[in-house]
Structure 1
Amino acid sequence: MAEDGGWDVVVVGAGTAGCALAARLVDAGRRVLLLEAGADHPRASDVPEDLRDATTLRAAVPGHPANWDLPGLLPDGRTLRVPRGRVVGGSSATNAGYFIRPTPHDAAGWAAAGNHLWAWDRLLPALVRLESDRDVGDRPGHGADGPVPVARPAGGSPLADAFAAAAAELGMPEEPDKNAGGLPGYGPVPRNVLDGVRISAADAYLAPRRGHPGLAVRGGVQVLQVLLERGRAVGVRTSAGDVRAAEVVLCAGAVGSPHLLLLSGIGPAQRLRAAGIEVLVDAPGVGEGGTDHPLVYLPFSPRDGVPAGPGEAPLHGVLHTTSDGATVPGDLEVLPWLAPFAQVMTGRPAPGRPVEVGVGLQRTEGTSRLTLVDGAPGSSPLVEYRHLAEAADAARMRAGVRLAAELLAARALGEFGEPAELPRDDAALDRWIRERLTTAVHLSGTARMGPESDPGAVVDQELRVRGVDGLRVADTAVLPRVPSRGPAATAVLVGERGAELMTDGG
């Protein structure tokens, strides 16, 4: 029952996971208050074109009001900006619409870390329930009537077809359904996009429940900390005043959720004291052990007359393949963008600019962490990426870059453009990579789940924060390791699975 005058659950963050969680809790009869620091657009007609147009990433550019635009730091001291959605719908309202499930190998790893409730057979029903796959929804292991529409681009442009032919030329298998959990290869990208319109988690989950008496959505409200009394979360302190609830769930993402835990006095004691924050729970894993996908772009210059534009989608196909020595299949991802990235980001033509082919290392040995700049709630935390600090990671990224270069030099692409020339020497290529190194912005695991025997586990496998009653985290921060595909579909899955665990024990 809700506290007198309060709510059953306050969900902090109306992002990709938070929208799914809140909707399913409402379906289960809970009274839910969903808080979001960014704007709320309750009617479809209110949604700005920047958030609807799935051919561009205009809402992810620095300075856009829907972008948190966080600071990040790479190992060589270079700084970068980290886009994260600051709007109802979260990053699902600002990203490229890539909607590929985690793999069975990902789930097996999470379960092996002491989280049997996150094994593949426990996750598949939720994956089926959340989707309405327009292409294969009638097949086993897929869903046809879920809230999230999933479709693959129809009919590639000549350049997209050439990328597919180049992958075949290199002997890469076809993978027509990236969400079937099969062997990695080249195939079309499943997207939560219909007729060029990005369908965010807010569109999919909140829109059908607007006006429900059990749901209130408040945009423009920043949560400053969790309110704790005698070891229990009793609500949150916000920019608009205190809110009380019987239970608090943080869905602010792999940056926002650990940041709120730290601001609330839950985290590594020494770091909290250094920031002038009273230590309420010494939780050494908060902000530590994060994983992401290091990313490098290779330029490919189209010849005169070759159209380089997004058409229906800025991404049509994607290659997943396995490097030598990898512990799981599909640890390398090659993403051929179909337009200059400057055009994808701004929506404006960029004539004469090369298109980029991204190379992502999907499974790393190195980890990253989130640190406090200071203890002020209004200060952004810093994401410290330790990309390629491990020799094995650097070697596998080098192999991935060479594979992408081989793809771009394939006969099938010869009539379309010129690939960049890479250094042949390993040491020189490593320098080339480090000069261009960035991140895919897929940070996960900064408040990971795990058994009591894991000193770095922040939550148990039912997503309850250890040492605090009535507090959970339900977003990609809880994943023991980032999925080996982009995490958007996984974030929705965490919201769905979190609601199951809260209402029926999962």
Structure 2
Amino acid sequence: MKLAKALKLFLSLLLWLCLPSASTPTSSQGDRENGGSEYRRYPSIRRASSFSSNSGKDGYDYIIVGGGTAGCPLAATLSEKYRVLLLERGGVPFGNYNVSHMQNFHLTLADTSPNSASQEFISTDGVFNSRARVLGGGTCINAGFYTRASSSYVKRAGWDAKLVNESYPWIENQIVFRPKLTPWQRAVRDGLLEVGISPFNGFTYDHKYGTKVGGTIFDEDGIRHTAAELLASGNRENLHVLVHASVQKIVFDTSAGEQPKAIGVIFKDENGEEHQALVSERQGSEVIVSCGTIGSPQLLLLSGIGPKADLRKLNISVVVDNHFVGKGLSDNPLNTVFVPINKPVRQSLIQTVGITKMGVYIEASCGFGQSTDSIQRHHGIVSAEIGQLTTIPPKHRTKEAIQAYKDRKKDLPFEAFMGGFILEKIATPKSKGQLSLINTNPDDNPSVTFNYFSHPYDVKRCVNGIRIMEKILQSKHFTNYTSFNKDSVENLLNMSVKANVNLLPKHMNDTSCLEQFCKDTVITIWHYHGGCHVGKVVGPDYRVLGVNGLRIVDGSTFYESPGTNPQATVMMLGRYMGVKILRERLGRAAGV
């Protein structure tokens, strides 16, 4: 088994090295994406312009919109028995150096070019954020941490626990690894235990109170493995994947019975040409939306499902009047503290986590301050290790302020590039927001509001989390590791605003000071969810209420973000729902 897995990883890496970048297309990339030798492992992937009316002349059993964290495992699973068309608005991750290599994690998030794997959006709160725009979705741009949802979460979601526990390993056996702890992560682990975040649960995918080490989708060489790789498990004869396919809207047949029925989609290819793809007339064929928390409610609204008054303002024909679409949006607020170290640090993303019973998760990252020009240029712009001008309140984090910050990077002393970060994330935030359309262009971001810390309980938990971080920084294990000298600390204090790093607040005993610190330094950890909640927009089977032939399978259906990082559960949901759907149509004879 170990030899086979090693060989698989070697071949995968070799493939990545051969493939062109998705974010910087070359003149021959189109040919490669249309079946070149580099795509031996993924022969189903084509550019959207290769689609013709003959491609789906008999119709597809399933059209999946969004080749992301849920869409890829869902498509691979359904293709085992049925004909599937997967449409992804972005390119491929293979060969994209910034996506594939951990050391460049923050560069993709800082890339605002039209072909980037991430698309920046700024919530009305003033917090800069990112949504994935690449095959594999958020697994291509995140920090890689892999951890399951708790058993109580599974129960609240109404999922079949047995099938859940079969679906997680399907993911883990293909793209998940055990991390090798860096000294920084070991120091944080020991500090967490010293201050009482116990017991120590060791390495585990399970969500347990105390301190643990989780999995990662980065292998031992720092190479990222994404949900796109799960497509290799699909049936090549049945699976058709189009990249650079921007879906404009869902097509409905309003003459078929009492409820409208989804019969296909309209999408544009990379050249701006419009195409229509239809599902088969066979019973059970469906359109499944897996566009994520921002994209799924946006597509419903563009297609005529949402609040009637809002749709009519934009001259969108109303298919279903549902005022819950886009409502109940949540983002888990993140606050970070920079910790200086008196020695070089080896890069690590999230490996260790402290799970408290008060609803605060403590995590850590480090090593982004290595003295290379590229890292100094991007250090702390939108990435998790510092965030986005976090010494400036959200409403003042303008693009002009960010540019000014970039311009003065070269003047930063070395102390700004030696250290790591303690992060605190608020679980299950009570603060809620909403999403609404600005226009009818699906390529544009909608208006998104999260209302960070609008609920006092979220603020209270943040204050508690900061006080936990203070205890960790003062713990014996941690101070033995950091041992920063006084002169360097003074240098850092004198340039902290210029370097845009948050240190611990000076007045830790002043609750009102800490409350303001939470509000002023809030950033995102990209775990936003909601907008298409079960019971309000979709039913328990994830079918959209009020229409036939349409489901949503992604994090937009979640009331809370599962585990300390949602990617494991979103991928699991794709596999889980794929198996559920197959069993619905075929019974246990589905063989899955």
TM-score interval for Structure 1 and Structure 2 normalised by the shorter chain:
0.7 to 0.9
1:113-163 CA distances to partner (integer Å, 9 max, x unpaired)?
A: xxxxx153442222233322xxxxxxxxxxxxxx33x22222x33322221
Contact in 2 for aligned 1:315/1:337 (Cα 8 Å): yes
Contact in 1 for aligned 2:118/2:130 (Cα 8 Å): yes
Alignment of 1:286-301 (within 5 A): 286-301=325-340
Contact in 1 for aligned 2:127/2:524 (Cα 8 Å): no
Match of 1:66 among 113, 117, 126: 117
- CA 1:103–1:91 in structure 2 vs 1: closer, same or farther (change >3 Å)? same
Deviates more, 1:59-68 or 1:390-399: 59-68
Quote how far apart the aligned CAs of 1:340 are.
Answer: 4.0
1:105 and 2:152 matched: yes
Deviates more, 1:220-229 or 1:338-347: 338-347
Alignment of 1:423-442 (within 5 A): 423=507, 424-442=509-527
1:269 and 2:308 matched: yes
Tell me the amino acid that sits aligned with residue 390 of structure 1.
H
Which residue does the alignment assign to 1:352?
A: 415
> CA separation in 2, counterparts of 1:121 and 1:5?
36
Greater share of residues in helix = 2
Quote how far apart the aligned CAs of 1:83 are.
Answer: 1.2
Which residue does the alignment assign to 1:242?
A: 276
Which residue does the alignment assign to 2:77?
A: 24
Tell me the amino acid that sits aligned with residue 188 of structure 1.
V
- Alignment length, in residue pairs? 454
Alignment of 1:12-91 (within 5 A): 12-27=65-80, 29-40=81-92, 46-57=94-105, 58-64=107-113, 65-74=116-125, 79-91=126-138
Alignment of 1:275-424 (within 5 A): 275-303=314-342, 306-310=343-347, 313-323=348-358, 331-340=359-368, 347=375, 351-353=414-416, 354-415=419-480, 416=482, 417=484, 420-423=504-507, 424=509
Quote how far apart the aligned CAs of 1:4 are.
Answer: 4.8
Contact in 2 for aligned 1:40/1:218 (Cα 8 Å): no
> CA separation in 2, counterparts of 1:370 and 1:485?
24
Alignment of 1:455-494 (within 5 A): 457-494=536-573
TM-score normalised per structure 1: 0.84
- CA 1:407–1:378 in structure 2 vs 1: closer, same or farther (change >3 Å)? same
> CA separation in 2, counterparts of 1:314 and 1:11?
31
1:65-109 CA distances to partner (integer Å, 9 max, x unpaired)?
A: 1112123122xxxx2332122111111112111111111122232
Contact in 2 for aligned 1:14/1:89 (Cα 8 Å): yes
- CA 1:346–1:172 in structure 2 vs 1: closer, same or farther (change >3 Å)? farther
- CA 1:251–1:465 in structure 2 vs 1: closer, same or farther (change >3 Å)? same
Which residue does the alignment assign to 1:500?
A: 579
> CA separation in 2, counterparts of 1:463 and 1:97?
27
Secondary structure of residue in 2 paired with 1:194? coil
1:176 and 2:202 matched: yes
- CA 1:298–1:192 in structure 2 vs 1: closer, same or farther (change >3 Å)? same
> CA separation in 1, counterparts of 2:556 and 2:352?
28
Tell me the amino acid that sits aligned with residue 429 of structure 1.
L
Which residue does the alignment assign to 2:246?
A: 222
> CA separation in 2, counterparts of 1:434 and 1:3?
51
- CA 1:422–1:360 in structure 2 vs 1: closer, same or farther (change >3 Å)? farther
> CA separation in 2, counterparts of 1:422 and 1:271?
47
> CA separation in 2, counterparts of 1:103 and 1:54?
27
Quote how far apart the aligned CAs of 1:475 are.
Answer: 0.7
Quote how far apart the aligned CAs of 1:471 are.
Answer: 0.7
Gaps of 5+ in 1: 112-117, 133-146, 324-330, 451-456
- CA 1:352–1:483 in structure 2 vs 1: closer, same or farther (change >3 Å)? same
Quote how far apart the aligned CAs of 1:40 are.
Answer: 2.8
Which residue does the alignment assign to 2:218?
A: 193
Contact in 1 for aligned 2:148/2:563 (Cα 8 Å): no
Tell me the amino acid that sits aligned with residue 568 of structure 2.
A
Deviates more, 1:60-69 or 1:432-441: 60-69
Which structure: larger Rg? Answer: 2
Secondary structure of residue in 1 paired with 2:131? coil
> CA separation in 2, counterparts of 1:21 and 1:126?
11
- CA 1:427–1:408 in structure 2 vs 1: closer, same or farther (change >3 Å)? same
Secondary structure of residue in 1 paired with 2:556? helix
Tell me the amino acid that sits aligned with residue 244 of structure 1.
L
Contact in 2 for aligned 1:36/1:87 (Cα 8 Å): yes
**Identical columns (%):** 25
Tell me the amino acid that sits aligned with residue 216 of structure 2.
R
Contact in 1 for aligned 2:346/2:366 (Cα 8 Å): yes
Deviates more, 1:267-276 or 1:256-265: 267-276
> CA separation in 2, counterparts of 1:91 and 1:345?
27
Contact in 1 for aligned 2:562/2:569 (Cα 8 Å): yes
Contact in 2 for aligned 1:71/1:381 (Cα 8 Å): no
> CA separation in 1, counterparts of 2:370 and 2:552?
35
Tell me the amino acid that sits aligned with residue 292 of structure 2.
G
Secondary structure of residue in 2 paired with 1:402? helix
TM-score normalised per structure 2: 0.73
Which residue does the alignment assign to 1:135?
A: none
Which residue does the alignment assign to 1:258?
A: 297
Contact in 1 for aligned 2:179/2:219 (Cα 8 Å): no
- CA 1:483–1:459 in structure 2 vs 1: closer, same or farther (change >3 Å)? same
Which residue does the alignment assign to 1:120?
A: 161
Tell me the amino acid that sits aligned with residue 517 of structure 2.
W
> CA separation in 2, counterparts of 1:341 and 1:285?
44
Which residue does the alignment assign to 1:140?
A: none
- CA 1:371–1:178 in structure 2 vs 1: closer, same or farther (change >3 Å)? farther
Secondary structure of residue in 2 paired with 1:105? helix
